[in-house]
Amino acid sequence: MIKKYANRRLYNTDTSTYVTLEDLAEMVRAERDFVVYDAKSGEDLTHTVLTQIIVEQESRGTNLLPIGFLRQLIRFYGDGMQRLVPSYLEFSLDSLTKQQEQYRRRFANTFGTAAFDAVQDQVRKNFEAFEKALG
């Protein structure tokens, strides 16, 4: 469990140490789950802190989220599709994660745009599967 104090410091109660957003990012990469609580109110801040990690990564120039994607994501807020977007994104990322090793091999052995075409094809298949699941 991670506690976030009013001074914005993060404290890992498991290790009895203060941690940074980068430390938490490393925990995520190592697939070690954690929950972040406000030290005073007990409010769950996990979503906010994970979002901060993404913003920090993006601001370093590690642009994983294209501008067009970000704009479309913003458009979904308040839209009737808003309820479906989290499920779709989670489904798509789960599929990508499961096939990550296969993609790595393809990328390592492929030159040109063929590797990217394979990813686009898989994204299209994932979207079709998601649409079928929705009925």
Q: Is the pLDDT of residue 32 over 90?
A: yes
Q: What are the sequence ranges of the domains in the chain?
A: 2-59, 67-134
pTM above 0.85, yes or no: no
pLDDT, tens digit, 9 for 90 and up, residues 59-114: 998 788 999 999 999 999 999 889 999 999 999 988 888 888 777 777 767 655 56
Q: Mapping DSSP to helix (H, G, I), strand (E, B) and coil, where does residue 119 land?
A: helix
- What are the strands, taking DSSP E only, across the chain? 2-4, 10-12, 17-19, 36-38
- Compute the Cα dihedral for 75, 76, 77, 80 and give only its sign: positive
